């Protein structure tokens, strides 16, 4: 007499909640909030009462995810769609570990063909090398605040993010060695 397989009655929301409880302990607050927002977005699309086993491969789970990805792509959110699919992969893997889904039934495991298929990468705006002398002349000849001129030049010389520049402190400047020494305990500036 074979034991009968226990039917799970877990919903997608149950899987989201369980994942987010663990996730909150493992990641920074910002990452947690992003994951939570993605879960809410998917929960609104699929409904919170949808049974988790309907996302298994044998139950048409890939088709459900494909429809979701297509709707996100149509809204111009290709990257968000891809991130949601990767998050679902993690959530379904955890659900399989918990016994809430069957082994080898993670419908979000592999990248879908339609992920980022319509995305056209755009380069960031930039100056051509031939335009750099004109930029430097414009900075030197500007009638604005002298501190702004100097900060702009420093920013260009240091190749840092603006956030780094605005957080620098004058007392960190070592006049003897003619260099800015950033204390090791300064968060966000170590790189």
Over the chain, what HEC string results?
A: CCCCCCCCCCEHHHHHHHHHHHHHHHCCHHHHHHHHHHHHHHHHHHCCCCEHHHHEHHHCHHHHHHHHHHHHHHCCCHHHHHHHHHHHHHHHHHHHHHCCCCCCCECCCCCCCCCCCCCCCCCCCCCCHHHHHHHHHHHHHCCCCHHHHHHHHHHHHHCCCHHHHHHCCHHHEECCCCEECCCCCCCCCCC
Question: How do the pLDDT tens digits run along the chain, 191 residues long?
Answer: 554 555 568 999 999 999 999 999 999 999 999 999 999 999 999 998 999 999 999 999 999 999 999 999 988 888 899 999 999 999 999 999 999 999 999 999 999 988 877 767 778 888 898 998 998 899 888 888 888 888 888 888 878 778 777 788 888 888 999 888 887 777 766 55
Task: Please give the pLDDT value at position 188.
Answer: 66
Q: Kindly tell me the sign of the dihedral angle through the C-alpha atoms of 76, 111, 98, 102.
A: positive
Task: Please give the pLDDT value at position 76.
Answer: 86
Task: Please give the pLDDT value at position 12.
Answer: 95
Backbone angles phi, psi at 159, to 5 degrees: 55, 45
Task: Please give the pLDDT value at position 190.
Answer: 53
């Amino acid at each position: 007499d074979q034991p009968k397989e226990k039917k799970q009655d877990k919903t997608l929301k149950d899987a989201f909640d369980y994942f987010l409880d663990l996730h909150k302990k493992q990641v920074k607050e910002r990452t947690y909030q992003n994951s939570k927002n993605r879960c809410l977005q998917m929960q609104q699309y699929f409904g919170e009462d949808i049974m988790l086993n309907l996302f298994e491969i044998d139950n048409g789970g890939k088709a459900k995810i494909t429809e979701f990805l297509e709707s996100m792509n149509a809204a111009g959110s290709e990257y968000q769609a891809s991130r949601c699919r990767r998050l679902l992969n993690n959530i379904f893997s955890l659900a399989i570990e918990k016994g809430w889904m069957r082994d080898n039934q993670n419908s979000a495991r592999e990248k879908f063909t339609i992920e980022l298929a319509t995305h056209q990468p755009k380069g960031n705006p930039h100056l051509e090398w031939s335009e750099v002398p004109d930029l430097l002349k414009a900075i030197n000849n500007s009638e604005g605040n002298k501190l702004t001129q100097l900060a702009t030049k420093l920013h260009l010389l240091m190749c840092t993010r603006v956030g780094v520049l605005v957080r620098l402190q004058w007392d960190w400047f070592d006049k003897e060695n003619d260099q800015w020494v950033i204390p090791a305990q300064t968060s966000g500036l170590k790189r």
